[in-house]
Structure 1
């Protein structure tokens, strides 16, 4: 079963507007992004954990929340789950007592933000040699699910499950989101850019001249 966020190819959500150049529709959106980055810098979770937190919001909330409302709701859940704040503190908007010293030491100070963002977080790793070469035909696994954590995070979208495509690029090896999101280790794997015909994914609704390229980890794939 897929979660509510896995909506690629679904009818009724309207077109994507590629000409929308707005950075933040509301002033508070920038603060939501800043707060999310600052909380992540405390080192209590990784980017895959935060993505999973957004995916697992209750469907009724996910559907009605705007983009940055989803970010804030997921962040609030993570802060409470990791005992960084209490539910009472969240509801009342006031801290009770002192923060642990290790969190204070990791706080993202204003003067270092630019450098931290510029340096980024590398997720490329060493791993076993890739099984597939450029030009190989591959098939994604038939179910777009996390193979080790029921209902867990994965980067294989449902619309591409069981589809056949062609490897067009080998990226190297990267941390596997399916394990990293759940504290099961980085488990790095080769990562590929795989091209699919739009018709193979969408059927008659797809265009024969269009392709969809997905970045997919090796464990998502098998020879076609």
Structure 2
């Protein structure tokens, strides 16, 4: 799914502002509370930590919810979406409660019956063993697939259909494409693939190398 989060390589965002060396972790107290609430919401929504499901939630936000509310506002909006998806919160419950805090006396929608997904990781972290060798080797030329992406994926849009060289073969990780939808971990090897910027953005691009970590099922051998 090509959501708002897949903005890498797209124009019009302006320069990247590097953080100040003395920049605090949280500029305002509410940001720390937002971080804690978002971190806990996954455990409430589906009984465990599933970062892929959380990232998928962020990717489904609209432009205003993703950009206008800032980084930690985005986290709160993503947490609300996860809790609504799991029927822990009713749609509109947060908005109604905020209005009540302002003294408007709005009736909150009823809390629906919980519909928490049956989710339990097979092990801690994201590394998983697989019983097959890697499909690609260091130095091999590979091409990223131009497959349709109806759901979550970690294959960025700007890298699809382009050729690069494998620099590092990494261990197998839980596949976000299925794990985000609670359809199994399906571990795959991950490859650090180096692309030439002109391969990605055309001959007029400034020459530099781009390295992307890509799951095995995103790649195919070149002839």
Name the Cα RMSD after superposition.
2.7
Question: Contact 2:45 / 2:82 at 8 angstroms: preserved in 1?
Answer: no
Structure 2's unaligned 5+ residue stretches are 101-107, 117-123
Distance 1:218 1:131 in 2: 7
Further displaced range: 173-182 or 195-204: 195-204
2:163 aligns with 164
Give the TM-score normalised by the residue count of structure 1: 0.78
Aligned residues: 199
Could you tell me how far 1:197 is from its partner in structure 2? 0.9
Further displaced range: 47-56 or 21-30: 21-30
Q: Aligned pair in 2 of structure 1 residues 34, 205: CA closer, same or farther (>3 Å)?
A: farther
Could you tell me how far 1:17 is from its partner in structure 2? 2.4
2:8 aligns with 8
Structure 1's unaligned 5+ residue stretches are 103-120
Alignment of 1:1-224 (within 5 A): 2-21=2-21, 22=23, 23-42=25-44, 44=46, 46-87=50-91, 89-90=93-94, 91-92=96-97, 121-127=124-130, 128-143=132-147, 145-146=148-149, 150=150, 152-208=151-207, 210-224=208-222
Distance 1:214 1:133 in 2: 15
Identify, as 1 or 2, the structure richer in helix: 1
